[in-house]
Amino acid sequence: MPTSKSESNRALILNLFSGGKLQISNLSNAKDTRILQKLAANQSEIFDAGDAGTSFRFMTAYLGVRGKEAVLTGSERMKERPIALLVDALRKLGAKIEYIGNEGYPPLKFSGFKDSGLSEIEIDATVSSQYISALMMAGPSLPNGIKIYLLGDVVASWPYLELTWNQMQKVGISGDFSQKLIAIPNQEFKATAISIESDWSAVAYWYAMLALSPEKTNFSLANLFKGSFQGDSAIQPIFEKWGIKSSFSENYLVIEKKENSKINGCLELDFLNIPDQGQTFIALCAATGIEAYFTGLQSLAIKETNRLLAMKTELKKIGVEIEINEKEGTCFIAGNQKLMEPSQAFETYKDHRMAMALSIFAIVFKDGIVIENPDVVEKSYPDFWKELEKVGFEIVQ
């Protein structure tokens, strides 16, 4: 399995803030992580994050707090992804940041840091956890530390904040952590060795393939552990609805299709804490004829593409209609829709998760499927197609 880019990217930024005190092993080879490694080693004044959203947001906090003279830019899609919440917070703390193009969007120009004397920040916690994680990791290096007041009843992707806090504790950082207030004083990092776990976000595609496979099929997936702090580890009980059991043996996760289970009625799931799994479950329900109503998908509109709209467009190619509400973050899939053999290729919209979620239909259609721009999987799972070949898929490029 690929190692977690979420863990890897946090470790890399914490290492930057620590001044290089961390020894990181088992680092992800995902494109996003490779981009962040290059940004961390960059000696010029121009930092290009490409389409790596996490890298852009984390580097925004680092460059802002460190007071470097720099320009941080990205791909055309990145220039359409909002960054104002994070920039506003950093400005209050003393970062000198300007917008080069459209107000509220990349690229950004950094021209120093002057302590404002403030440490308290209020931020909308219903939008993206990455803004909050970026501020958390900057906290120990701020002259007055940081107190982040989380506004809103629900924290988007809360497990990702727990993951950030867990890694910060591993490198010696202490403070207060709750769903209303995160307080981190100014303090030193300790020299620490960090080993990165495999990526639970990637595991979901193997669960989905198992759900479509015959009974008594199983996979053993390496370097995955019970009690993981990765939010997407929450998929384990959800897949039990498809008859898949999960167990752990040494450093392996073993997933086994025990039986073909039938889901009765409408399957209702909230993806607020696991938004990256939305596309996978939309595809799986379409493939298995299950009626479903999903909530908590608000953040999908500002990902690599508008993911809800993209799934609606692509599933039409196989005769499946879904109802979406982008503002509310909901998706309804009627049950038992008749699938049509695809006459068109699936588009991926420069989105790795589109390619991997739609790949499961290769099990459904006897003549296979065609996926445009398959190399997008480089972003998080570079060896995805090679791994499919290992278990019997025939892939022609």
Domain-ending residue, one of 143, 171, 195: 195
Structure token pair of residue 123 = 């931020």
CA atoms within 13 A on the CB side of 376: 21
Give the number of domains in the chain: 2
Interval 344-359: pLDDT, tens: 999 999 999 999 999 9
Using a 10 angstrom Cβ sphere, with 0-12 exposed, 13-18 middle and 19 or more buried, the burial of residue 252 is middle
| DSSP string for residues in 269-282 | EE-TT-GGGHHHHH
Q: Specify the pLDDT at position 326.
A: 86
Q: How confident is the model at residue 82 (pLDDT cuts 50, 70, 90)?
A: very high
16: Cα separation from own chain's centroid:
21
- Over range 143-172, report the average pLDDT: 88
**Can you give 184-218 as a three-state secondary structure string?**
ECCCCCCCEEEECCECHHHHHHHHHHHHCCCCCCE
Q: Closest Cα to residue 237, out of 249, 227, 226, 245?
A: 245
pLDDT at 264 exceeding the cut of 90: no
* Residue 191 pLDDT grade (very low, low, confident, very high; cuts 50, 70, 90): very high
The 10s digit of each residue's pLDDT in 281-306 is: 999 999 999 999 999 888 777 677 78
| Residue-level pLDDT at 155 | 56
CB contact set of 267 (below 8 Å; sequence gap of 6+)? 241, 285, 290, 291, 292, 293
pLDDT higher than threshold 60 for residue 156: no
- Residue 69: which domain range? 5-195
Mark whether 102 and 230 lie in a shared domain: no
Do both 245 and 286 map to the same domain?
Answer: yes
How many Cα atoms within 13 Å fall on the side-chain side of residue 125? 22
Strand partners, 123: 150
Q: Are residues 20 and 68 in the same domain?
A: yes
- Do 226 and 359 lie in one domain? The reply is yes
User: Residue 81: what residue type?
Assistant: R
- Confidence category of residue 258, pLDDT binned at 50, 70, 90: confident
Give CA–CA dist 146/101, Å, rounded: 29
Residue 154 has pLDDT above 70, yes or no: no
Contacts of residue 312, Cβ cutoff 8 Å, sequence gap at least 6 = 322, 324
| Residue 91 shares a structural domain with residue 237 | no
Q: Which pLDDT value is given to residue 203?
A: 96
Any catalytic annotation for residue 276?
Answer: yes
Looking at the fold, whether 209 and 353 belong to one and the same domain comes out as yes
Q: Among 148, 170, 195, which residue terminates a domain? A: 195
Q: Worst-scoring range by mean pLDDT, 152-161, 172-181, 220-229, 300-309?
A: 152-161
The active-site residue, picked from 32, 48, 232, 276, is 276
Of the residues 195, 217, 245, which one is the last residue of a structural domain?
195
Q: Verify that 242 and 386 share a domain, yes or no.
A: yes
Regarding whether 240 and 103 lie in a shared domain, the answer is: no
Does the CA dihedral 324-330-334-337 come out positive or negative?
Answer: positive
- Whether 395 is covered by a domain: the verdict is no
Please tell me whether residues 171 and 88 are part of one structural domain. Answer: yes
Query: For the domain that residue 362 is a member of, what is the CATH number?
Result: 3.65.10.10
First to last CA, the chain: 23
In which region does residue 74 sit, left (phi positive, over 0), alpha (psi from -120 to 50) or beta (all else)? beta
Q: Which residue has the higher pLDDT, 159 or 291?
A: 291
Does residue 396 fall inside a structural domain? no
3-state secondary structure of 24: strand
0.85 cut: is pTM over it?
Answer: no
Q: How confident is the model at residue 35 (pLDDT cuts 50, 70, 90)?
A: very high
DSSP 3: B
SS3 160: helix
Residues 228 and 302 in one domain: yes
pLDDT computed for residue 171 by the predictor: 96
CA 358 to chain centre: 17
Mean pLDDT calculated for residue range 215-231: 90
- In one-letter notation, the amino acid at residue 233 is S
Q: Tell me whether the omega of the peptide bond preceding residue 107 falls within 30 degrees of 0, making it cis.
A: yes
- E strands within the chain? 22-25, 46-48, 69-73, 95-99, 108-113, 120-124, 146-151, 176-177, 181-184, 192-195, 218-222, 244-249, 252-257, 267-270, 292-295, 322-325, 330-333
CA distance 112 to 91: 11
d(CA 166, CA 21): 17
The answer to whether 168 and 141 are in contact (CB under 8 A) is no
Neighbours of 59 (CB within 10 A): 28
In-domain check, residue 397: no
Give the pLDDT confidence score for residue 259 in this predicted structure: 80
180 and 38 in a common domain:
yes
Q: Are residues 47 and 111 in the same domain?
A: yes
